[in-house]
Amino acid sequence: MILEKQNIDIDEKERAIACSVKRKGSNREEALEDLEELVFLAETAGAEVVHKIYQELPKINSATVIGKGKLQEIKQIVKEDNIKLIIFDDNLSPAQVNNLEKELNIKVTDRSGIILDIFATRAKTNEAKTQVELAQLQYILPRLTRMWTHLSKQYGGIGTRGPGETQIETDRRIIRTRIQTLKEKLLEIEQQKREQRKKRSDIPQFALLGYTNAGKSTLMNTITDANVYVENKLFATLDTTVRQFTLPSGQKALISDTVGFIKKLPPNLVASFKSTLMEAIDADVLLHIVDVSHKLFRDQINTVNKTLEELKINEKPTILVFNKVDLLDDVSIHKALKNEFPDSIFISAQRGINIENLLTLMQEKYNRYNNIFEINLPYSKSDMISLIYESYEVINRQDSDDGMIFKIKIPVEKEKYFFNKFSQYITKC
């Protein structure tokens, strides 16, 4: 069915259709919410979403995704309303895109294509540009035949930004070579950043994670008095920002603001941005920020948790932070959620509500899960040095006449193994 036509007429923007096709029996509310999010993505990319279309089918059409009758309706809409672009909420196969473009004679893209397009416009640093280019080329490669036309300069606009225009005359071999070069470049960047992080390993490190637009950057500004860019758009910032702040104990600490997550985030994009997310991987404590005012915030929590599992950091000490509590209409919701998530905390980053309690909780969580030990390892046990560096975070090392003195940070989950191996060498804890 055609849900609605938007009453907007902005000539500068590409007029688009946002489309979602699901099998009958799917969660309709969730699907419609995803469609609204797709509209937000499209608008963030600069499109003018004129129509939203949702259809349920007994079976998804393998050739064109959407049903034949609905396809004819869309063809008529394209003609009457000067539509230039159609965006599907689920990822399309190269064949489906090709078939749809032939039928509709307009650009066809999917959620991944739009997300990559937004990332291309947001990338400012050399690292972010490298990450986005790698993800885009991996997305383009299986669609290369279609992309020769899709990315030609006669089209331009949404879904065509980034490396596409510069790769129009390349073949698969050259793209694969470029992909390999970019992967090697990102490995170098990752190694450089890891060395930088080693220099500050004795400082408590926290990382803000969450669904895009959950308020992470606003919270960083509140905690650190920084001036991090904040905008009510998806993926307003891509590069990780690190700022210093002071814990209640007076101890200096660091907090990082990472790129936001979203449903159906392209796997290649997650992989490409691993070096950016290393701040989270190396953090002592994660702060999972949730927009509690969003009606499907539980789904957003699950999306973030799945991404953390992919990054293999879901076991890290984590504080669940419900943000935007001031936007809750019903106060009883607050109490119910506290019972459901007993270890969580409720704040408003925008209004500064409960920030002091959050800082106290951050201090407690860090102290509980990160202990500092000092061991004096005899030179006769030098074969254990590699084990120390591979398994733990070494804050400092000094060589003395009696042996090697290591100052080591031990997460609570590794304490038992540490004591089994090094208890006789511990000199201070």
Q: Is the pLDDT of residue 96 over 70?
A: yes
Answer yes or no: do 251 and 165 share one domain: no
Residue 326 is assigned to a structural domain of this protein: yes
What does the alpha-carbon distance between residue 109 and residue 336 come to, in Å, rounded to a whole number?
41
Instruction: Kindly give, in sequence order, each residue whose CB lies less than 8 Å from that of residue 340, ignoring residues fewer than 6 positions away.
Output: none
Side chain identity, residue 278? M
Answer yes or no: do 108 and 237 share one domain: no
Mean predicted confidence (pLDDT) in 209-238: 76
E strand spans, 277-424 = 285-291, 318-323, 345-346, 370-377, 393-399, 404-411
Residue 167 is assigned to a structural domain of this protein: yes
Q: Is the pLDDT of residue 81 over 90?
A: yes
User: Which pLDDT belongs to residue 328?
Assistant: 86
Answer yes or no: do 279 and 183 share one domain: no
Residue 88 is assigned to a structural domain of this protein: yes
| Helix residue ranges per DSSP H, 199-285 | 216-224, 267-272, 274-281
Q: How many CB atoms lie within 10 A of CB 298?
A: 12
User: Which pLDDT belongs to residue 151?
Assistant: 38
What does the alpha-carbon distance between residue 274 and residue 285 come to, in Å, rounded to a whole number?
18
Q: How many CB atoms lie within 10 A of CB 59?
A: 8
Q: Is the pLDDT of residue 64 over 90?
A: yes
Q: Is the pLDDT of residue 274 over 80?
A: no
Structure tokens at 308: 């953390």
Residue 192 is assigned to a structural domain of this protein: no
Question: Mean pLDDT score of the chain, rounded to an integer?
Answer: 82
User: Which pLDDT belongs to residue 160?
Assistant: 57
Residue 270 is assigned to a structural domain of this protein: yes
The pairing of beta strand 370-377 with beta strand 426-428: antiparallel
Answer yes or no: do 411 and 337 share one domain: no
Answer yes or no: do 344 and 389 share one domain: no
How many residues are listed for the chain in this entry?
Answer: 429
Residue 195 is assigned to a structural domain of this protein: no
Answer yes or no: do 386 and 280 share one domain: no
Name the percent of the chain lying above pLDDT 70: 83
Answer yes or no: do 335 and 207 share one domain: yes
Instruction: Kindly give, in sequence order, each residue whose CB lies less than 8 Å from that of residue 356, ignoring residues fewer than 6 positions away.
Output: 248
Structure tokens at 326: 């001031």
CATH number of the CATH domain containing 42: 3.40.50.11060
Phi, psi (deg, nearest 5) at residue 57: -130, 150
Global pTM reads 0.73
What does the alpha-carbon distance between residue 111 and residue 342 come to, in Å, rounded to a whole number?
35
Name the percent of the chain lying above pLDDT 90: 36
CATH number of the CATH domain containing 208: 3.40.50.300
Q: Closest Cα partner for 4 from 52, 66, 72, 37?
A: 52
Q: Is the pLDDT of residue 166 over 50?
A: no
Answer yes or no: do 132 and 216 share one domain: no
Residue 22 is assigned to a structural domain of this protein: yes
User: Which pLDDT belongs to residue 276?
Assistant: 61
Which pLDDT band, with edges at 50, 70 and 90, does 315 fall under?
confident
Which pLDDT band, with edges at 50, 70 and 90, does 7 fall under?
very low
Answer yes or no: do 398 and 265 share one domain: no
- Only one residue has tokens 């992989």, namely 271
Decide: helix, strand or coil at residue 368. helix
Which pLDDT band, with edges at 50, 70 and 90, does 423 fall under?
confident
Residue 83 is assigned to a structural domain of this protein: yes
Answer yes or no: do 105 and 17 share one domain: yes
Structure tokens at 178: 């470029």
The last residue of one of the domains, among 150, 166, 187, is 187
CATH number of the CATH domain containing 389: 3.30.70
For residue 422, how far is the Cα from the chain centroid? 38
Tens digit of each residue's pLDDT (9 = 90 or more) over 26-50: 899 889 999 999 998 999 888 999 9
The last residue of one of the domains, among 346, 368, 390, is 368
| Helix residue ranges per DSSP H, 199-244 | 216-224
Q: Is the pLDDT of residue 150 over 50?
A: no
Answer yes or no: do 374 and 355 share one domain: no
Tens digit of each residue's pLDDT (9 = 90 or more) over 365-411: 988 877 888 899 999 988 899 888 877 878 889 998 889 999 888 87
Contact assessment for residue 114 and residue 264, using Cβ atoms and an 8 Å cutoff: no
Answer yes or no: do 13 and 142 share one domain: yes
Number of domains in the chain: 3
Tens digit of each residue's pLDDT (9 = 90 or more) over 109-135: 999 889 888 888 877 778 878 888 888
Instruction: Kindly give, in sequence order, each residue whose CB lies less than 8 Å from that of residue 67, ignoring residues fewer than 6 positions away.
Output: 55, 57, 61
Sheet of 241-246: strand order equals 241-246, 252-257, 205-210, 285-291, 318-323, 345-346
User: Of residues 76 and 312, which shows the higher confidence score?
Assistant: 76
What does the alpha-carbon distance between residue 205 and residue 174 come to, in Å, rounded to a whole number?
41
Tens digit of each residue's pLDDT (9 = 90 or more) over 329-379: 777 788 888 889 988 999 999 999 999 999 999 999 988 877 888 899 999
Mean predicted confidence (pLDDT) in 255-263: 83
The last residue of one of the domains, among 187, 222, 253, is 187
Query: Which structural domain range is residue 271 located in?
Result: 200-368
What does the alpha-carbon distance between residue 355 and residue 359 come to, in Å, rounded to a whole number?
6
